[in-house]
Amino acid sequence: MIVLASDHGGLILKQPVIEVFDELKLPYRDIGTNSTESTDYPLWGYKAAQLVASGECEKGIVMCGTGVGISLAANKVKGIRCVVCSDCYSAKLSRAHNDANMLALGGRVVGPDLAKMIVRIWLETPFEGERHARRVKMIMDIERDQKLAL
């Protein structure tokens, strides 16, 4: 199950992202917003991140105007590695090397077709593990201890 959330600035990408879920036959949970009325992106980043961190949802895709604010909010939830991507290469490597569990997109940055490509690549790329697992663990150690053993 993939959670999908956005503020008003990211709403324009919701339908294109849902098209990719449908093409890949992936179940999703759209938690809002579903209105163009101005709303606070931290709320949506937080709600989506909670569902991923709790294990209720395997991954999350969140959108705001830039993808930046909503990713910052999501990344404050323990266990979340949320990446803002505006290109396919970063999307691929954020899964292969960083084991990102959330993707953030900017509705005022990427168009719907590019957003669809990014989402498809991000969803289809597995984590490579090995040396990358060590590095991801280091990130999670910083989160847990607020320091890194050097």
The site string for ligand RB5 over 5-34 (x = CB under 6 A, - otherwise) reads --x-x-------------------------
* CA-CA-CA-CA torsion sign (31, 142, 89, 110): positive
Is residue 88 part of the annotated active site? The answer reads: no
CA angle 136, 61, 79 (to 5 degrees): 35
Q: Which residues contact 131 (CB under 8 A, 6 or more apart)?
A: none
Tokens linked to 107: 């509705």
What part of residues 40-69 is at the interface with ligand RB5 (CB under 6 A)?
Answer: 41, 64-66, 68-69
Complex with ligand RB5: residue 66 or 94, whichever CB lies closer: 66
Active-site option among 8, 57, 64, 85 = 64
Taking the complex as a whole, the smallest distance from the CB of residue 62 to ligand RB5 amounts, in Å, to 11
- Is residue 56 within 8 Å of residue 24, measured between CB atoms? no
Taking the complex as a whole, the smallest distance from the CB of residue 39 to ligand RB5 amounts, in Å, to 9
Is residue 8 part of the annotated active site? The answer reads: no
Q: Which residues pair with 54 in a beta bridge?
A: none
Closest CA to 68 of 103, 19, 117: 103
Residues that bind ligand RB5 (CB under 6 A): 7, 9, 41, 64-66, 68-69
Report, as residue numbers or ranges, the catalytic residues.
Answer: 64, 97
